[in-house]
Structure 1
Amino acid sequence: MKKLIPFAMATLGVAASAAAQQEPSKSADKVVPQVTISGGRQDDMVERRNSTAGKQVYGREELDRNGDSNIGDVLKRLPGVTIGGRAGRGGEVRMRGLGSGYTQVLVNGERPPAGFSMESLSPDQVERIEVMRGPVAEHSTRAIAGTINIVLRDGYQMHGIQVKAGDRIEQGRHSPELSVTAPGKVGALSYTLSASFNYNRQHDSTLTRNTETDVAGDLLKEQFLDSESAGNTKGLHLTPRLSYKFSNGDTLNFQTFLMHQQMRSNAHTNLAQPVGSVPPEYNFAQQSNEGDVTFLRGFGNWLHRLQGASKLDVKFGVGLGKRSNDSLRYQYDAQGALLDRFTDTDDTRDKSVNTGGKYSSPLGAGHLLAAGWELEASHREEVRVSLNKNGVAQFADSGDNLTADTRRAALYAQDEWEITPQWSAYAGARWEGIRTTSDRSEGAVSNTSKVFSPLLHAVWKIPGHEKDQLRVSLTKSYKSPNVQDLIAAPFLSRLNSATSPDRTGNPNLKPELATGLDLAYEHYLGRNGIISVSGFVRDIDNLIRRELTQQQTDLGLRWVSSPANVGHARTKGIELEAKFSLAELMNNAPQIDFRSNYSRFWSRVDGIPGPDNRLDQQPKQTANLGMDYRLKDIPLTLGAGYNWTPAIRTQTSDKQVVETSRKRVLDMYALWRFDSRTQLRISANNVLAEDAAGNNLVYANGLAVQAASLNPTYTQWSVRLETKF
Structure 2
Amino acid sequence: MKKHALALALAQALAAPLTIAPALAQQLAAPASPDSARELDVIVVQGEISYRDRAEDIVPTLSYDLEYFQRFEPLTVGDMLKRVPSVAFVSDVLEYDGAQLRGLAPAYTQVLINGRKVPGAGVDRSFFVDRIPAELVERIEIVRAPSANRSGDAIAGALNIILRDSYEFDGAYVRAGALRFDDGELKPTYGAVASGEFAGGRLLGGVNVQGRYNPKAKFSTRFESPDGDFTDREDQTDVRDGTDYSANLSWNRDIGNGRLRLEGLYVLTDRTQTENSIEYNDPSSASRDNLLSVNDQVVDIDQRNLSLAMGYRWDMAGGRSEVELGYATFRDEIFDTEEEVGYDDDDTPPSFDEFEGVRTLTDVDDTELSLKLAHARDIGGADMEFGLDLMDKRRDTDLAVSEVDTDVEGEPLPPYQDFDLRSSRIDERRLDPYLMFTGAGQTLEWQAGLRYERTEVDVRADGEAAGNDYGTLLPSASLRWNLSEDDRINLSLGRSVRRPGFDQVLPLTLEEEYEDNDFRGNPALDPETAWGLDLGFERRLGRRGVVGVNLFYRKVDDLIELVNTGEASATALDDYADELEEFLDENPGAVEGDPGYPVFDPDSFVYTVMNTGGGKVWGVELDLSAPLTALNLPDTGVFLNYSWMDSETEDEFGKRRFNNQPRYVYNVGFIQDLPGAGVSFGASYRKQGEAQFRILTEEVSTRYGADLEVFVEKRFGERLSMRLTGSNLLDASKDEVFHKFDNAADQLARDYDEYELETESAGPVYQLILRYAF
**Which interval holds the TM-score relative to the shorter structure?**
0.7 to 0.9
Q: Distance in 2 between matches of 1:188 and 1:505?
A: 53
What is the number of residues matched between the two proteins? Answer: 687
Secondary structure at the residue paired with 1:17? helix
Q: Residues 49, 229 of structure 1: CA spacing in aligned structure 2 closer, same or farther, 3 A cutoff?
A: closer
Q: Residues 282, 480 of structure 1: CA spacing in aligned structure 2 closer, same or farther, 3 A cutoff?
A: farther
Q: How does 1:88-103 map to 2 (within 5 A)?
A: 88-103=94-109
Question: CA shift at 1:452, angstroms?
Answer: 0.7
Secondary structure at the residue paired with 1:74? helix
707, 714, 717: which one pairs with 1:672? 714
Name the residue aligned to 1:479: 498
Question: CA shift at 1:547, angstroms?
Answer: 6.7
* Residues 174, 200 of structure 1: 8 Å contact kept: no
Name the residue aligned to 1:331: 340
Bigger relative contact order (CA 8 A; separation at least 6): 2
Q: Residues 86, 201 of structure 1: CA spacing in aligned structure 2 closer, same or farther, 3 A cutoff?
A: closer
Q: Distance in 1 between matches of 2:88 and 2:642?
A: 11
247, 255, 260: which one pairs with 2:263? 255
Q: Residues 281, 563 of structure 1: CA spacing in aligned structure 2 closer, same or farther, 3 A cutoff?
A: farther
Question: Per-residue displacement from partner, 1:439-493 (whole Å, max 9, x unpaired)?
Answer: 222621323332111001101112xx33111111111111111223322878889
* Residues 649, 657 of structure 1: 8 Å contact kept: yes
Q: Residues 18, 320 of structure 1: CA spacing in aligned structure 2 closer, same or farther, 3 A cutoff?
A: closer
* Residues 511, 570 of structure 2: 8 Å contact kept: no
Asked if 1:183 is matched to 2:191, the reply is no
* Residues 693, 710 of structure 1: 8 Å contact kept: yes
Question: CA shift at 1:510, angstroms?
Answer: 2.4
* Residues 596, 623 of structure 1: 8 Å contact kept: yes
Q: Which runs of 5+ in 1 are unaligned?
A: 1-7, 27-31
Asked if 1:314 is matched to 2:323, the reply is yes
Q: Residues 227, 169 of structure 1: CA spacing in aligned structure 2 closer, same or farther, 3 A cutoff?
A: same
Q: Distance in 2 between matches of 1:531 and 1:551?
A: 55
272, 297, 302: which one pairs with 2:307? 297
Secondary structure at the residue paired with 1:389? strand
Secondary structure at the residue paired with 2:275? strand
* Residues 87, 665 of structure 1: 8 Å contact kept: no
Asked if 1:398 is matched to 2:420, the reply is yes
Q: Distance in 2 between matches of 1:388 and 1:416?
A: 60
Question: CA shift at 1:683, angstroms?
Answer: 0.5
Q: Residues 161, 559 of structure 1: CA spacing in aligned structure 2 closer, same or farther, 3 A cutoff?
A: farther
351, 361, 368: which one pairs with 2:377? 361
170, 176, 188: which one pairs with 1:159? 170
Mean CA deviation greater in 544-553 or 571-580:
544-553
Mean CA deviation greater in 259-268 or 134-143:
259-268
637, 645, 658: which one pairs with 1:593? 637
Question: CA shift at 1:185, angstroms?
Answer: 1.3
Identity %: 22
Q: How does 1:206-605 map to 2 (within 5 A)?
A: 206-213=218-225, 219=229, 222-246=231-255, 248-273=256-281, 283-308=293-318, 310-334=319-343, 335=351, 338-365=354-381, 367-389=382-404, 398-418=420-440, 420-441=441-462, 443-462=464-483, 465-487=484-506, 498=515, 505-545=521-561, 551-552=569-570, 563-583=609-629, 585-586=630-631, 588-605=632-649
Q: Distance in 2 between matches of 1:635 and 1:353?
A: 48
* Residues 167, 175 of structure 1: 8 Å contact kept: yes
Question: CA shift at 1:393, angstroms?
Answer: 14
Secondary structure at the residue paired with 2:361? strand
Question: CA shift at 1:315, angstroms?
Answer: 0.7
Asked if 1:195 is matched to 2:207, the reply is yes
Question: Per-residue displacement from partner, 1:159-211 (whole Å, max 9, x unpaired)?
Answer: 32211112111121112111111112134222111111122233222222333
Q: Distance in 2 between matches of 1:98 and 1:687?
A: 27
Q: Residues 564, 65 of structure 1: CA spacing in aligned structure 2 closer, same or farther, 3 A cutoff?
A: farther
* Residues 381, 404 of structure 1: 8 Å contact kept: yes
Question: CA shift at 1:599, angstroms?
Answer: 1.4
Question: CA shift at 1:352, angstroms?
Answer: 2.2
CA RMSD of aligned residues (A): 3.4
Question: CA shift at 1:573, angstroms?
Answer: 0.8
Secondary structure at the residue paired with 1:124? helix
Asked if 1:618 is matched to 2:664, the reply is no
Q: Residues 49, 253 of structure 1: CA spacing in aligned structure 2 closer, same or farther, 3 A cutoff?
A: closer
Question: CA shift at 1:652, angstroms?
Answer: 5.0
Q: Residues 404, 455 of structure 1: CA spacing in aligned structure 2 closer, same or farther, 3 A cutoff?
A: same
626, 630, 633: which one pairs with 2:673? 630
Question: Per-residue displacement from partner, 1:34-78 (whole Å, max 9, x unpaired)?
Answer: 97765779x998973532111111123224232111111111111
* Residues 466, 507 of structure 2: 8 Å contact kept: no
Question: CA shift at 1:351, angstroms?
Answer: 2.3
* Residues 385, 393 of structure 1: 8 Å contact kept: no
136, 160, 168: which one pairs with 1:149? 160
Mean CA deviation greater in 560-569 or 354-363:
560-569
* Residues 614, 652 of structure 1: 8 Å contact kept: no
Secondary structure at the residue paired with 2:23? helix
Mean CA deviation greater in 312-321 or 699-708:
699-708
* Residues 11, 578 of structure 1: 8 Å contact kept: no
Question: CA shift at 1:373, angstroms?
Answer: 0.8
Q: Residues 304, 505 of structure 1: CA spacing in aligned structure 2 closer, same or farther, 3 A cutoff?
A: same
- Letter in structure 1 aligned against 2:173: Q
Name the residue aligned to 1:706: 755
* Residues 15, 580 of structure 1: 8 Å contact kept: no
- Letter in structure 1 aligned against 2:386: A
Question: Per-residue displacement from partner, 1:191-239 (whole Å, max 9, x unpaired)?
Answer: 111111122233222222333349xx654x7232222233421221111
Q: Residues 532, 393 of structure 1: CA spacing in aligned structure 2 closer, same or farther, 3 A cutoff?
A: farther
Question: CA shift at 1:666, angstroms?
Answer: 1.1
Q: Distance in 2 between matches of 1:392 and 1:539?
A: 54
Q: Distance in 2 between matches of 1:89 and 1:168?
A: 16
Q: Distance in 1 between matches of 2:36 and 2:276?
A: 58
Asked if 1:51 is matched to 2:52, the reply is no
Question: CA shift at 1:706, angstroms?
Answer: 2.1
Q: Distance in 1 between matches of 2:712 and 2:17?
A: 24
Name the residue aligned to 1:174: 186
Secondary structure at the residue paired with 2:78? helix
Secondary structure at the residue paired with 2:365? strand
Q: Distance in 2 between matches of 1:291 and 1:136?
A: 37
- Letter in structure 1 aligned against 2:772: T
- Letter in structure 2 aligned against 1:124: E
- Letter in structure 1 aligned against 2:368: S
Question: CA shift at 1:87, angstroms?
Answer: 3.7
Q: Residues 382, 46 of structure 1: CA spacing in aligned structure 2 closer, same or farther, 3 A cutoff?
A: closer
Question: CA shift at 1:640, angstroms?
Answer: 1.1
- Letter in structure 2 aligned against 1:478: V
Question: CA shift at 1:271, angstroms?
Answer: 2.2
Q: Residues 358, 397 of structure 1: CA spacing in aligned structure 2 closer, same or farther, 3 A cutoff?
A: farther
Q: Distance in 1 between matches of 2:177 and 2:519?
A: 40
Q: Distance in 2 between matches of 1:431 and 1:417?
A: 22
- Letter in structure 2 aligned against 1:287: Q
Secondary structure at the residue paired with 1:633? helix
Work out which of the two has the higher radius of gyration on C-alpha atoms and give 1 or 2. 2
